[in-house]
Structure 1
Amino acid sequence: MRQTYCAGAQWVHVSTEEQAPQHVQTGLSRATVLLMAAATGVTVASLYYCQPLLDAMSSSFGIAPATAGLLVTFTQVGYAVGLLLVIPLGDLLERRTLIVWLSAALVAALLLVAVSPTGTWLFAASLLVGLLSVVAQILVPLAATLAAPEERGAIVGTIMSGLLLGILLARTAAGLLAEAGGWRSVYVVAAACVALLTVALRRGLPRSPAMAATTYAGLLRSVGRLIVREPILRRRMLYGALAFAQFSVLWTALTGLLTAAPYHYSEAVIGLFGLIGAAGAASAQFAGRHADKGRALALTIGFGVLLGLSWIAMAAGRSHLVPLIVGIVVLDLGVQGVHVTNQSQIYTLAGEARSRVTSAYMTAYFAGGALGSWSATRVAAADGWRGVCLLGGGLAVVLLVAVIVGEASLRIRGRQPAS
């Protein structure tokens, strides 16, 4: 039996027999891609509103700054759990319905943060926000599935630009809103934005049938099998984790640097630093286009070098603004470039299991982020900005070594060409 669904720009015919289809030929309209990019950015932004607000939250609940810094870790741990346990459902359930329900639940979680009466409530609600923000990572494999093969890298790059802008502009929006109406107003406005997008997604997203004929338990087991079976996936999981750990090190520690001497910046000014980092979105389209042309290894090494150079610049930013700004821009270019290159590679694997591939990759990615934010909180308390830059620079070196050694070992064994 066959059914027909409208997928953005074209009609898609899919089998509804027990075996899921292996190939779905389709395309995406520009409007649909932009809607998905906007939804990805707005939902993932929920993870990062707290970063420029840590001092305000600390004062509001009377908790130590180091303890408040763990809000970032709690949110990212929730996100990692969602990536592991929720994202695989994108292969088992109709994706538009799943996306809409998760988005509606995220609205409720953001409101729970806004009305938090105690620190314990705040931490629990933040964990829930992280868990439900994974809707962004259901949209990405959906786009990769519906996109024409020759456009996949460019479309993923566009959507990942939306994701990076959401991550970075979240800080700017949070800082400005907090300055005007207090930190709770940030989460009220965020809930309203997600609610509006939930309606738009319900109306604008194409239906996407389930790609897997199995149970939920079988789906989770298959994630582990994919990791064991696919060397490209294992390598890209490691590269992504190391890159995003550096991103989290920077943005977790930056608030402490900018509120102290010699800067003494307000929450609104700190939030504006997100606009600086947003320049990194420019690397997404570049990485997507060139990864489609078989240049993934060169891109990964090049972006890894940028990450290392960024920490050298930011080390001078302890007391000088210009090198700090340059380092932030370069780091965000490098992180986004590595991430989009990684995704262009992993989405060539197991087309019927893209949500599970995403689950494996993004779980490692945000586990790296959680580890980075946890480490940055402690290193900053013990050794200040100098220690933060040494930590970030060390992670950049480990990433480059992992790429060079990993790709060289595969070439020597002759298992596959460099990707």
Structure 2
Amino acid sequence: MGTWRLVFAAVCAVAVAGIYAAQPLLPLVGADLGVARAHLGWVVAAGQVGYLVGLVVLVPLGDVVDRRVLLVGHLGMTAVGALVVASAARAWVLFGGLVVVGLFAVVVQTAVAYAASLSAPGERGRTLGVVTSGVVIGILGARVVAGAVAGVWGWRGVYVVLAVLLVALAAVVWRVLPPDPRVGRDGYRRVLVSLGGLFGERLFVSRGLIAFFLFASFGALWGGLALPLAGAPWWLSPAQIGLFGVAGLAGAVGAARSGRWADGGLAGAVTGGGLVVLVVSWWAIGQVSLWWLVVGVVVLDFAVQVVHVSNQHLLTAAHPERTSSVVGGYMVFYSLGSALGAAATTAAFDATGWVGSNALGAGFAVCGLVVWVWARRVAL
């Protein structure tokens, strides 16, 4: 495995961790800054809002300027946002810092697109499998590390550690990765127009809608999981809650081979199978048992990774000349879905408890499966 693949995976893991590190910390953040329980979902959603803006405004730059320069600059600005969060004395400063973290964390999509463009066509799925595994490791591993760090240095210490890692990684990127050989192919305005045109393509829209519901379901689980676990009957600490990320990591790592399946021409079928597995995972999550919850988390994260890799493989293969734009546009759906899931699940939990959050997540999963069936029927 090339060193450059591992560097790209590390960029994805550390950058995306800034958006999701808050999830096991929600009770601590709410108590410290006076954020009501029903509104805690916005602590996670704020990062997704910034991410959405960055996908439209910043990611297309990858088809215009040297992506190595973008990686270094965006990692540095993500570190600045993390320091703002760490020093926040009021909720609005916290939300502002999280928006900045999310805005520049789109370095993840620049990294994915750059890695795809450096790969030979027959190895693109493998590369995407490795690099996007970094994304999922960052999303889920952030919970484990954040819970452990918060137990020692408090929730603010989590963001100080994150800032240090981001700066160190920026230096590694500059030293290890090659300059982008595809600089200046199109003007920025032309790239933006081209991005808008993708929303008229059936493949792009169907895969985008699947991603929307996929990550809304994902967000419905992880965006509010800390609330029931921190209360009766379990009363788990942030460090213990963070350990659920290990279960998620097991599922995500288990799906690493999905890139090879996509290389073998099975991306469409794998997507459908993954969505069925996602729906089934919510049955396990809905059982009133920590053991069943662990099983459900493993299965859910396996399904999410499989579908996500398959989606990106199909889209980058269809648009090899503009991977940054197509990945950025696709991830708009991801960001909207993640924000919806995170914001809605805490409101649902506040109103109806864990049953309501489960019904919400399962409903999103079913919607994703319906879109896949519809897209298959239209294509026939």
TM range (shorter): over 0.9
**Which residue identity lines up with residue 123 of structure 1 in the other structure?**
F
Partner of 1:143 in structure 2?
115
Residue in 2 aligned with 1:25? none
1:162 to 128, 134, 142: 134
Higher relative CO (Cα under 8 Å, sequence separation at least 6) belongs to: 2
Question: Quick one: which of 283, 292, 300 aligns to 1:323?
Answer: 292
CA deviation after TM superposition for structure 1 residue 226, in Å:
2.3
Which among 240, 243, 253 is matched to residue 272 of structure 1?
Answer: 243
Show structure 1 runs of 5+ residues with no match.
1-28, 412-419
Q: Aligned-pair distance for 1:218?
A: 2.4
Q: Structure 2: how far apart are the matches of 1:126 and 1:359?
A: 20
Inter-partner Cα distance in structure 1 for 2:33 and 2:252: 35
Conserved? CA contact 1:93–1:209, under 8 Å: no
Please give the per-residue CA displacement for 1:376-407, whole angstroms capped at 9, x wherever unaligned.
12111111111111111111111111111211
Give the aligned partner of residue 369 of structure 2.
400
Q: Secondary structure at the match of 2:235?
A: coil
SS of the equivalent of 1:347 reads: helix
Q: 1:40 touches 1:159 (CA, 8 Å); kept in 2?
A: yes
TM-score, scaled relative to structure 2: 0.97
Give the one of 252, 255, 260 matched to 1:281. 252
CA distance in 2, matches of 1:127, 1:38: 22
Quote the Cα distance in structure 2 between the aligned partners of 1:226 and 1:144: 18
After superposition, the CA RMSD in angstroms is 1.2
Q: Distance in 1 between matches of 2:326 and 2:43?
A: 28
Contact 1:82 1:130 in 2 (8 A): yes
Which residues in structure 2 correspond to 1:6-405 (within 5 Å)?
30-210=2-182, 213-228=185-200, 230-316=201-287, 319-405=288-374
Q: CA deviation at 1:47?
A: 0.5
Deviations 1:339-381 (A, max 9, x none): 0010110011222211110111001111111111121121111
Amino acid paired to 1:84: V
Residue identity opposite 2:91 in structure 1 = G
* Separation in structure 2 between the aligned mates of residue 92 and residue 275 of structure 1, nearest angstrom: 38
The CA deviation at 1:134 is 0.7
- Which region of structure 1 is more displaced relative to structure 2, 66-75 or 95-104? 66-75
Conservation of the 8 A alpha-carbon contact between 2:247 and 2:298: yes
For 2:351 and 2:333, how far apart are their aligned partners in 1? 27
TM-score between the two structures when normalised by the length of structure 1: 0.89
Does structure 2 retain, via aligned residues, the 8 Å contact 1:160–1:284? Answer: no
Aligned residue pair count = 380
Letter in 2 for 1:397: V
Q: CA deviation at 1:209?
A: 3.4
Could you tell me how far 1:283 is from its partner in structure 2? 4.1
**In 2, distance between residues paired with 1:366 and 1:280?**
21
Q: Deviations over 1:193-243 (max 9, x none)?
A: 111100000101111134554432222111011221x32211111111111
Query: SS of 1:207's equivalent?
Result: coil
CA distance in 2, matches of 1:30, 1:239: 31
Following TM superposition, by how much is the alpha carbon of 1:66 offset from its aligned partner in structure 2, in angstroms? 2.0
Q: Is the 8 A contact 2:39 2:347 kept in 1?
A: no
3-state DSSP of counterpart to 2:224: helix
Cα distance in 2 between the residues matched to 1:122 and 1:56: 13
Deviation at 1:271, TM superposition (A): 0.7
In the alignment, residue 184 of structure 1 is paired with which amino acid? R
- Give aligned-pair identity as a percent: 41
Instruction: In structure 1, give the amino acid aligned to 2:151.
Output: E
State which structure, 1 or 2, has the greater radius of gyration over its C-alpha atoms.
Answer: 1
Q: Which amino acid aligns with 1:347?
A: T
Q: Which amino acid letter does the alignment assign opposite residue 139 of structure 2? A: I
1:27-60 alpha-carbon deviations (Å, 9 max, x no partner)? xx61111111111101111101111111111111
Asked whether the equivalents of residues 157 and 285 of structure 1 are also in contact (C-alpha less than 8 Å), the reply is: yes
Q: Please tell me the residue identity of whatever aligns with 2:123.
A: E
**Alpha-carbon contact 1:76-1:370 (below 8 Å) kept:** yes
Deviations 1:236-257 (A, max 9, x none): 1111111111110000121011
Q: Which has the higher mean CA deviation after the structures are superposed, 67-76 or 173-182?
A: 67-76
1:48–1:171 Cα contact (<8 Å) kept = yes
Distance 1:285 1:156 in 2: 9
Give the letter for the 2:238 counterpart.
E
* 1:281 CA drift (Å): 2.1
Q: Report the residue type matching 1:85 in the other structure.
A: V
